[in-house]
Amino acid sequence: MNSTLAILAVLDGISYAALVFLVSVGLSLIFGVLRVVNVAHGSLYAFGAYLAATFSIKVAPLSPWLTYPALLAASIVIGVVCGGFIERVLLRPLYGRDDVLQLLITFAAFMIMDNLQRLIWGVQPIFAAEPLKLLPNVTVFGVNYTSYQVILLPAVAVATLFGLRYFLRRTLAGAVIMAVTEDREASTSIGIDARRVYFVTFIIGASLAALGGALASPTTSLVPGMGADMIVLSFAVAATAGLGQIEGAALTALMIGLTRAFVIYLQPEFEVLVPYLLMVLVLLVRPYGLFGATQMRKI
């Protein structure tokens, strides 16, 4: 492997890690607060991507720059509408019931969304690369790459990481979420409305998944099945990091992204294997994940 390929692999890895981080941090956040593994998370990612593509195809003729707010708008719409629906209508009646039912109802949501996605957007691949083409290419150590992927995506991921940290540690709403995460009963007894916290957290988490999808949409063709692939991948990242670990998810996403990128150049057939193999190995040694404390510390 020559140095150009190595740099290419690093850049691939970083841009990929940025997307995976956005999705898995949402999953992790939801698990940390609600203790629910949201199986429909990948569908939120796919919906975010498809809606973003629809929006940007609509607005691009007016001005190509409008595609950026379109991406953001799509993720918020999906996060609030779909995320809000899943939490309020499906999950809420199940709090305090068997965990398996909560998991399974999000599986039902996944099945429905997967089907709806095919009904709404069809099965033909969709391309909406406008935002990607808009930004110039950059040269990194002699390698030409789109600045959308090596600058914008990582920047959004880093901003999300620090934004979430700030939100959770420095604002009142964040403090309330943290309190519920630490001790649900105690926080309810001091007057925190846990249901509202769940609702808001789920919407934030769902919006992050949709944002991941929206930002991914210009870089890839949208196909059925993208959601099903993303949920296990983001789950692998979240679980390897330790469910509920935000900074851990960032590092793990980077680790998996880079390993995967190098494997693609060296031994392409093992590409899909990498994250799951890492997950198995890590979970066998540290069931609470790389960054999870033995007594699981959430968030």
Instruction: State the binding string over 26-45 for another protein (x if CB under 8 A, else -).
Output: -----------x-x------
Whether residue 72 contacts residue 65, with contact meaning beta carbons closer than 8 Å, is answered with: no
Instruction: State the binding string over 235-264 for another protein (x if CB under 8 A, else -).
Output: xx--x---x---------------------
Dist CA 93 CA 80 (whole Å):
19
**Based on CB atoms, which residue is closest to another protein, 119 or 172?**
119
Residues 185-244 that bind another protein (CB under 8 A): 228, 231-232, 235-236, 239, 243
CA angle 116, 120, 121 (to 5 degrees): 115
Contact status: 177 vs another protein (CB under 8 A)? no
- Rounded to a whole number of angstroms, the distance between the first and last alpha carbons of the chain is 39
User: Looking at 90, 135, 175, 200, which residue binds another protein (CB under 8 A)?
Assistant: 90
Residue written as tokens 């995460």?
A: 181
**Based on CB atoms, which residue is closest to another protein, 107 or 167?**
107
Contact status: 283 vs another protein (CB under 8 A)? yes
**Based on CB atoms, which residue is closest to another protein, 73 or 94?**
94
Q: At what angle do helices 194-216 and 3-34 cross, to 10 degrees?
A: 160
Dist CA 174 CA 168 (whole Å):
4
Cβ contacts of 191 within 8 Å, gap of 6 or more = none
Ramachandran bin of 131, using left for φ above 0, alpha for ψ from -120 to 50, beta for the remaining angles: alpha
Task: Name the minimum Å distance from CB 98 to another protein.
Answer: 4
**Based on CB atoms, which residue is closest to another protein, 22 or 113?**
113
Binding part of the chain for another protein, among 67-75, 101-109, 138-146, 191-199 by CB under 8 A, reads 101-109
Dist CA 90 CA 112 (whole Å):
13
User: Looking at 118, 133, 169, 196, which residue binds another protein (CB under 8 A)?
Assistant: 118
- For 222, the 3-state DSSP assignment is strand
Task: Name the minimum Å distance from CB 6 to another protein.
Answer: 23
Dist CA 296 CA 299 (whole Å):
9
User: Looking at 2, 62, 100, 139, which residue binds another protein (CB under 8 A)?
Assistant: 100
User: Looking at 114, 129, 143, 175, which residue binds another protein (CB under 8 A)?
Assistant: 114
Tell me how far CA of residue 65 lies from CA of 15, 131, 146, 213, 216, in angstroms: 21, 8, 16, 19, 17
Contact status: 279 vs another protein (CB under 8 A)? yes
Rounded to 5 degrees, φ, ψ at 136 are: -70, 165
Binders of another protein: how many residues, by CB under 8 A? 45
User: Looking at 1, 58, 93, 266, which residue binds another protein (CB under 8 A)?
Assistant: 93
Residues that bind another protein (CB under 8 A): 37, 39, 90, 93-94, 96-101, 103-105, 107-112, 114-116, 118-119, 228, 231-232, 235-236, 239, 243, 269-273, 276-277, 279-280, 283-284, 287-288
